[in-house]
Chains A and B, each alone.
Chain A
Amino acid sequence: MTPKLKSPTRRQLLQMTGGAALAMPFLSIRAAAQTVNLSMLAWYGHAEPDIVGEFEEANNVKFTPKYYTGGDNMLGLIAQSPPGTYDVILSDAEYVQQLNAAGYVQELDPADYPFDDFFPEFQKFPGHWKDDKLFSVITRFGFLGVAYNTDAFTEKEASSYGLYWDDRVTGKLGQFDWHLPNLGQISLYNGNPSPYDIDEATWEKVKETAMSLRPQAGGFFDYGGTFSSLNNGQMLVFSGIGDWITGTLEKNGSPVRTVIPEQGGLQFTESFSIGTGTKNYDMARKWIQWITSPEGQAKSANMAAYPCLIPSQAGWKVLNDTNPAEARRQMMVPGERNVMDLIREGRIQYRQLPVQQSLEDWNDFWSDYKGA
C-alpha cells in the first residue's frame, strides 16, 4: 500500500507559518540569553577584536567596552556609575589603591591566577595588594623614556633627557599632556632617585627645571595628536611617552623610537580588577585568567592599539615562538639582554602619584607651565 501524502490545507499552512514566526523571537531570545555581556572599563584597545575576539568566540561572551583616557577619568566614571556597572576594570598601578580604598573593586583569590608564570618582580606588585590581599592582577607594563625621530637624532644623542634642551629641539619638543610622566622625567633628570617622593625644596627645583624647558615645547598633545605630530615629523622629540606610542608607529614604518636614557626611565603597569557588584564574577575571572595565560599574554604584547611588555615568562616564550621579531623589538628575548635587566639594574622607577605633594599641586603647576 502506497502511503498517501497529505497536503496541508491553506489554513494549516498559515497556522504553521504563523506559529513559527511567533516562536522565532523566543528562540532568538533564548540564544541571546546564553551570551554573557561583560562590561569593561579600560584604555582604548583592550576590548577590540584583536584582543578579545578569540575569548568571545570560545566563551560566548560579548564585551561592552567603555574607554577612558587617564586614571582620573576612570575614577570619575566609576564614581558616577551604580555598583556593578563595570565587570572588569583595567587600571594603572597608581590608581588601584584608590579603587580599592573607595570599594570599587573586589578582593581576588591569588590561587585563581598564574602568578608562578610571572617574573618574581611582578608576583607581588606594589599597589595591587593590600594587607596581603590581592585586588588587581598585572597584565602588561611599559617604560617611558626619550622618544625621538631616528632620522634627526642618534640613539646616543637621545640617551639623555638633556636632549630636551638641545637647540635643535627648540619648538620641536612635543609633550604628552599629562603632568605625571613629564614631571617625573624632569625629576629623574634632576637626579632624584625616587622621582615622585620629593620634599618641598626638591619639588621647587623640579618646577624650576621644568620652566627652563618651556621655550622648547612645540605643543601639548593628547593620544591622537601625539601620534600625528610624531608621524608627520612635526615633533622630533617627545617627552612623557614610550614604546606604547612609538612602537605602534615604528611597526608602521615611521622613523621613531624610544630609548631609556642614562638618568633612568619610568614604568607604568596595567592590571585587571573585578568590579564590586558585578553579576558576572565567574566570567570576569575567566577573562583575567585568559589574558594572563601564555597565549593571552603574547596577544596582549602585540595589541594593535598599543604594544606593551608582559610580566609572564611563559608569555615571553609563546611570543618568541609566534612573533620573534616583535619579541626582539620589545627586548623580551630570554637569554639576551632584555627589559628585565633594565629593571634589575635599577634604571626604571615606577610612575606613581606624588607622595609629599598633593596631586592638585602637580596639576596646578602643569597648568601654569603650559600657560607660561
Chain B
Amino acid sequence: MLSLPLLIWQLAFFLFPLLFLVALSFWTVRNFQMQPDLDFGNWERILTRRAFWDAYLLTALLATASAVLTSLIAFPAAYAISFKVSDRVKQWLIFVLIIPFFTSYLVRVYSLQVFLSDAGIINAFLGFFGLGPILMLNTLFGTLVGLVTLCLPLVVLLQTFSLNFVDRDLVEAAHNLRCGRLRTVLMVIVPSARVGLVIAALFAFILSFGDFVSPLYLGGGNPPTLSIMITDITKSGQQWPRAAVVALMMITTLLTVAFLAIQFAYKERGK
C-alpha cells in the first residue's frame, strides 16, 4: 500500500510517456500532420542510415569521455573535501558546489565561448607567450569542455557524499599496516566508495549523452550528435515519429548502460 504513490508516479511520468513514444514511432506524417499508424518505415529509415550510426557512435564516445574525464577531475576535489577539511569548511565547499546550478546552463555555455574563441581569453593569454591561437571553439574539445562544465559540480557532490561514508577505521588500519597514501586511496578508499563513484560517472554519462547545448554552441554542431539530429529531423518535415525512433534508441542505450553500471557497482568483490 505504501508503495502505491511510487507506482502511480512511475506510471504517470515514465511508463505512459515511454509507451506513447513507442506508439509515436510507428505513426506517419502527412501534410505536416501526424497520423496514428503502424508503419515500420520510420525505424527502417533511421536504422539504415549511416548518418544515424555515425552520430550514435560520436555521441556515445563523447559521453564516455565526459564521464571518465569528469570523474578523474572531480575525484581529487571530492577527496580533499571529504578527508582533508574541517566540517565547517566542508559545508561551505558543498554550498559553493551548488552555486553553478543557480545559473542557466545555456548562459554558462555562452560565456565559455568568450574563453574558447580564437580571440578569446585563453588565446589572448597564450598570445603573451607568442603561442596560439589554438582552435578550441566549434571542435570536439569545445564540446567536451561544455560537458565537463555541465557534469562536474554534480559529480563532485556525489563523489563527496560517497567518500563521506567510507569507514575511517579502514583507512587508519591501512596506514597502520604501512600502506602508502596513494595505495590507500586505490586499494581501500576507491573500492569502499565504488557504488557512489560509479553512480556519479553514470550521471555524467546520462547528462552528456542527451545534451544538446554544448555540442551545438561549443561544438558548432560539427559533426552532429543524436540530440542535434532529433532537432534536425523535427525541424524539416515535422517528422516527430522519426525523431521518436532516435529518442527510443537513446533511451534504450541509457537504460542498458545504467543497468550494466549498477550491476558493476553492486557486484561483490571476488565474484
A residues whose Cβ falls under 8 Å from a Cβ of B = 69-70, 72-73, 75-76, 78-80, 98, 101-102, 171, 174, 177-179, 217-222, 224-225, 228-229, 232-234, 359-360, 363-364, 366-368, 370-372
30 contacts between A and B (CB under 8 A): A70-B235, A72-B236, A73-B235, A75-B31, A75-B238, A76-B32, A78-B32, A79-B31, A80-B33, A102-B32, A178-B235, A179-B236, A218-B222, A219-B220, A219-B222, A220-B222, A228-B110, A229-B220, A232-B119, A233-B117, A233-B118, A359-B236, A364-B49, A366-B232, A367-B232, A368-B50, A368-B51, A370-B51, A370-B222, A371-B224
Q: Determine whether B71 belongs to the interface, using a CB cutoff of 8 Å to chain A.
A: no
Chain A residues, CB < 8 A from B54: 371
Q: In the complex, A69→B236 CA distance in Å?
A: 10
Q: In the complex, A80→B35 CA distance in Å?
A: 11
Q: In the complex, A71→B235 CA distance in Å?
A: 9
Chain B residues, CB < 8 A from A73: 235, 238
Q: In the complex, A233→B248 CA distance in Å?
A: 38
Q: Of B217, B229, B238, which is within 8 A of A367 by CB?
A: B229
Chain A residues, CB < 8 A from B117: 232-234
Chain A residues, CB < 8 A from B236: 70, 72, 179, 359, 363, 366
Closest Cβ–Cβ distance, residue B270 to chain A (whole Å): 45
Taking a contact as CB atoms under 8 Å apart, the answer to whether A219 and B138 are in contact is yes
Taking a contact as CB atoms under 8 Å apart, the answer to whether B235 and A72 are in contact is yes
Chain A residues, CB < 8 A from B223: 370-372
B residues whose Cβ falls under 8 Å from a Cβ of A = 31-34, 49-51, 54-55, 110, 113-114, 117-120, 135, 137-138, 216-217, 219-224, 229, 232, 234-238
Given A219-B138, A234-B137, A371-B224, the answer on whether A225 and B119 have CB atoms closer than 8 Å is no
Shortest Cβ-Cβ A-B pairs, 7 listed: A219-B220, A76-B238, A371-B51, A75-B32, A220-B221, A219-B138, A363-B236
Chain B residues, CB < 8 A from A221: 220-221
Given A220-B224, A371-B51, the answer on whether A79 and B33 have CB atoms closer than 8 Å is yes
Taking a contact as CB atoms under 8 Å apart, the answer to whether A217 and B232 are in contact is no
Chain B residues, CB < 8 A from A233: 117-119
Chain A residues, CB < 8 A from B137: 234
Closest Cβ–Cβ distance, residue A40 to chain B (whole Å): 19
Q: Of B32, B114, B120, which is within 8 A of A72 by CB?
A: B32
A98-B31, A178-B235, A233-B118 known; 20 new pairs, CB 8 Å cut-off, are A69-B235, A70-B235, A72-B32, A72-B237, A76-B234, A78-B32, A79-B238, A177-B221, A177-B232, A220-B222, A224-B217, A232-B113, A232-B120, A234-B118, A234-B138, A363-B237, A367-B49, A368-B49, A370-B51, A371-B223
Closest Cβ–Cβ distance, residue B24 to chain A (whole Å): 13
Chain A residues, CB < 8 A from B234: 76
Q: In the complex, A47→B124 CA distance in Å?
A: 41
Closest to A370 in B: B224
Chain A residues, CB < 8 A from B31: 75, 79, 98, 101-102
Closest to A358 in B: B237
Instruction: Tell me which of A70, A72, A102 has the highest count of chain B C-beta atoms within 10 A of its own C-beta.
Output: A72
Chain A residues, CB < 8 A from B135: 171
Chain B residues, CB < 8 A from A102: 31-32
Q: Of A69, A79, A174, A367, which is within 8 A of B32 by CB?
A: A79
Chain A residues, CB < 8 A from B50: 368, 371
Chain B residues, CB < 8 A from A232: 113-114, 117, 119-120
Taking a contact as CB atoms under 8 Å apart, the answer to whether B235 and A367 are in contact is no
Chain A residues, CB < 8 A from B49: 364, 367-368
Closest Cβ–Cβ distance, residue A176 to chain B (whole Å): 11
Q: In the complex, A177→B235 CA distance in Å?
A: 10
